[in-house]
Structure 1
Amino acid sequence: MSAAHSDHEDLYGSTLLSLQQVRALVRTVEGALALRHSAQFFVWTQGSLQQLLPHQLLLCGAYQRSSRELRFELFNNAPLPPGLAEALCGPGSALLRRLQSDWLALGQGRPLLLPAEGLGLPGFAQLLMHGVSRPQRPSEIESFFLLAHAEPVYGPRQGVLLELLTPHLHSGWLRAQGGVAPARAPERHASSALPTGLTEREHQVLHGLREGLSNQQIAADLAISALTVKNHVQRILRKLGASNRAHAVARAQGLPRLSSGEGF
């Protein structure tokens, strides 16, 4: 049997994971061990994790002892409908409370797949969620993860993969929350060229891409027009040889200036 053919064979006859997916799973788990701050976490989610669990939105929550509640952060690699980020991450979010209750009641400790229609997530077809609860107190959630996609890409196999990866999402996210990225270097003039080939302004726009901001949001932050941001994004993609915004962020992590935390 050829190597190319065997890559698409189910591992040991399993109908759950192919050999390709097992390899991606190993890479994902190994990558999780190196996570130390949220910039690294985001880049990690856009790598082999996307092969296993494709998503356009990832919501991560971890219990904060100081506030005695889950604190959430949203990562997205596609524009979000207006108001959705606030609905998901705003203080006392009713939508989040409902989703956590659904997971506890319907999931019963396993990943839960739900159609997004009627749940207050416009623009998405499905969502897949799982979390970590205290062993003796399942209603007390330690961490909670929600993935969503505009296409119906989730099924039983993705549920198994999420169950396998949730411990690594949990530990990686906790480390990322406890870590602090190195401070940004003093800003230079927007037209000054950097060793990476990106200008200072392009690094600022790239920072916005990493945060999952839309062109309009980046424009507001930088006091420039959305069209100017669009032009910067196109130049960034061309210079980094990236096919899309998430790909650009992942490739930028390897650049000397960005891998040290500057600009992120």
Structure 2
Amino acid sequence: MPRYALLIEYDGRPFAGWQRQAEHPSVQQAIEEALAKLESRAHTIAGAGRTDAGVHARGQVASVDMEKDWDPFRLSEALNYHLKPAPVAILDCAQVDDDWHARFSAIERRYLFRLLTRRAPATLEAGQVWRVNHALDVEAMREGAQYLLGKHDFTTFRAVMCQAQSPVKTLDVLDIVQVEGFAGPEIQFTLRARSFLHNQVRSIVGTLERVGAGAWHPERVREALEACERAACGPVCPPDGLYLTGVGYPDDPFSTRS
């Protein structure tokens, strides 16, 4: 059975997350049902990251086995046809080796979080950004973020129901920039790591927002990290504004994509 890699974009708002669930719609379910229209059987795809309810993706990756030897372009076009009207799109498709796996072959995940700072509610950007109605001190947030870089026990910054075997992760990048977005001033967080814990990104951003608001001094981030206790974490921010932007592999299956 030939195996394919899918590069996927989706709006997470209508879904209970990436992973298939018994009673709630998921992105995985939407794609598997579209696959069943092409080959009438049960399909199970593997995603590189299990995004939560309301979290978006511009670069999710999944692997799928097909019975027919599909041309990758025609497979992506057919899937996009059958995915309508779900807000899910296959951006690219590539045939890969039989032992290639979207999750286990990955060496990096990349996330972006968009935080809009303005008094007025978000309208056109609703669900796409986290809007706060006060200004934030970006330099203070950058100072607090420095304590989180590198290899640490991130127990403080993971959900209680996280199923990861170890809370120890290495955060390679945590960049914070201020930009002028279409809806107003945005603070954008870029995070990169081999893998993330459940709710780790949202816990980090919610904590750093408290630093930017002046409610926490930057060094309190270090104290929270060293506490290794969930209660020491700041608020967990909403999923609005969180995007899985890319997944890294030793050999990128989409390297020829323009």
Give the TM-score band, short-chain normalised.
Answer: under 0.3
| Structure with greater proportional strand content | 2
The structure where helix makes up a greater share of residues is: 1
Higher RCO (CA-CA < 8 Å; seq separation 6+): 2
Under a length normalisation based on structure 2, what TM-score does the superposition of the two structures give?
0.25
If the length of structure 1 is used for normalisation, what is the TM-score? 0.25
